[in-house]
């Protein structure tokens, strides 16, 4: 039969030397402890934003494409590279008309008001 561990009857901390200042309740001991600030997490992660906008089938196809690129030797290829390449190809095949200055300014105002937390 195995021997059981017997818990010591005395407090092992009693054997340690004590600091007289802490026994008397010095001012240093009574300082309030400040809690570490918690970093605020972004509400939505960029990857989650992309997943929310694209269908699961497209996301799966995108992952397969990135995997194919990586096994063919482009080890640093990522989803953002695939999306960038696709957009460049799309834009090269179509004539793109720039938005008027007024519309760009209106969009900028809207972006700024959203950043500041204001609504119309």
**Tokens in use for 50?**
């992309």
Fill in the DSSP letter of residue 65. Answer: H
CA dist 83 → 54, 65, 75, 95 (Å): 12, 11, 16, 19
Give 95-120 pLDDT, tens digit per residue: 999 999 999 999 999 999 888 886 65
First to last CA, the chain: 79
Check: CB of residue 71 under 8 Å from CB of residue 63. Answer: no
Contact 66, 79 (CB under 8 A): yes
For 14-49, the pLDDT digits (tens) are 777 777 655 555 555 555 555 556 666 555 555 556
3-state secondary structure 86-116: HHHHHHHCCCCCCCCHHHHHHHHHHHHHHHH
Per-residue model confidence (pLDDT) at position 4? 67
Determine the pLDDT at residue 3: 65
pTM higher than 0.85: no
Measured in degrees and rounded to the nearest 5, phi and psi for residue 33 equal -90, 125
């Amino acid at each position: 039969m195995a021997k059981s561990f017997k818990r010591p009857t005395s407090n092992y901390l009693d054997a340690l030397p004590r600091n007289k200042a802490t026994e008397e309740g010095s001012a240093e001991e009574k300082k309030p402890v400040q809690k570490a600030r918690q970093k605020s997490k972004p509400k939505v992660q960029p990857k989650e934003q992309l997943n929310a906008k694209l269908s699961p089938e497209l996301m799966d196809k995108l992952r397969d494409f990135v995997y194919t690129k990586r096994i063919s030797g482009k080890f640093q290829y990522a989803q953002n590279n695939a999306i960038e390449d696709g957009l460049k190809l799309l834009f090269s095949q179509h004539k793109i008309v720039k938005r008027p200055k007024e519309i760009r300014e209106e969009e900028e105002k809207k972006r700024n008001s959203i950043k500041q937390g204001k609504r119309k």
